[in-house]
Amino acid sequence: MSEILNTVSQGILTLSLNRPGKMNALTREMYAGLTKGLNDAAGDFGIRAVVLTSEGDHFTAGNDITDFMNNPPSSESSEVSQFLSALLNFPKPLLAAVKGNAVGVGTTMLLHCDVVVAAPSANFSMPFASLGLVPEAGSSFLFPQLVGYQRAAKIFFTGESFGADAALEMGLIAEIDPDSVAAVTRLALHIADQPPQAIINTKALLKARQHDAVAAVMKAEFEIFAMALQSDEAMQAFMKFMSKKGKS
Ligand code: COA
């Protein structure tokens, strides 16, 4: 069974993270699957919107830490870089349904989505600094822009998590719904009924002002992130996670 489930219905592509036993922690193969799904959908006239969702009780625990240790992404051809680029450049409506933990890139990818609906169980966190790393996916620019510098700095510096109510108040998500998948799918179907070129043009206009700035920030973040992955601070944090439950 693939770790990215890919289903198409009524013009909506749903990409579902399917590694629930590991809290949907994202491997290189999963990033590659997401990138392919997004890039194929971008070029397929029949697809009007994409929904990101997950199997099990959680959205994702972020990047797989074993992958970070064994195969740290070091160039812009890496799977994670390709995924972030596909996210940034995706021209059609991108929606997400979030429940449970959304850690690291599980939260930062939402900054690129057009509409996010979260279940009351959703819990967001970006513990990059706590892991000896730095914010990624353009979040060092997009998150303070969304929530204000002070609140962003506090969240990045402490690694503290926040729930669905706080995410709604910040504007990270559009709605809270106990059945976030059903709510997002209803919305995606509604959007899919709209004139498609007008929707694509509207998204391009909404994103135009900051597209190049985000691309430049992502590039800078990636360079620092790749160095940080090799640091003692990161190694110690990863070893601590691995030793927590005798993980290997
Ligand atoms: N990479 C690899 N495996 C992960 C993972 C990750 N990022 N997050 C969770 N898992 C795995 C655990 O190893 C465990 O697998 P096991 O049952 O085979 O040991 C399973 O998913 C469940 O996680 P567990 O830690 O037992 O759940 P928990 O409820 O006690 O804790 C978290 C949940 C999210 C707090 C904890 O899993 C965690 O801190 N994960 C790492 C998050 C992270 O730092 N991500 C990178 C961000 S850049």
User: Cβ-count burial of 56 within 10 angstroms (0-12 exposed, 13-18 middle, 19+ buried)?
Assistant: middle
In this structure, are strands 94-98 and 115-118 parallel, antiparallel, or unpaired? parallel
Q: Which of 18, 19, 22, 23 to mutate to test the pocket of ligand 1 (most atoms within 8 A of CB)?
A: 23
The whole-angstrom separation of Cα 3 and Cα 55 is 10
Asked whether 10 and 189 are in contact (CB, 8 A), the reply is yes
pLDDT computed for residue 74 by the predictor: 86
**Cα-flanking dihedrals φ and ψ of residue 123, to 5°?**
-140, 115
The whole-angstrom separation of Cα 67 and Cα 218 is 20
217: its two tokens: 């920030």
Q: Which of 18, 22, 101, 136 to mutate to test the pocket of ligand 1 (most atoms within 8 A of CB)?
A: 22
pLDDT computed for residue 76 by the predictor: 87
Q: How far is the CA of 147 from the centre of ligand 1 (A)?
A: 27
Structural domains of the chain, ranges and CATH numbers in brackets: 4-180 (3.90.226.10)
49: its two tokens: 């919107």
pTM as predicted: 0.97
pLDDT computed for residue 53 by the predictor: 98
The whole-angstrom separation of Cα 171 and Cα 167 is 6
Tell me what percent of the chain is helix, strand and coil, each rounded to the nearest 5.
55, 15, 30
102: its two tokens: 């959304």
pLDDT computed for residue 245 by the predictor: 64
Tell me which residues of the chain have a pLDDT lower than 70: 245-248
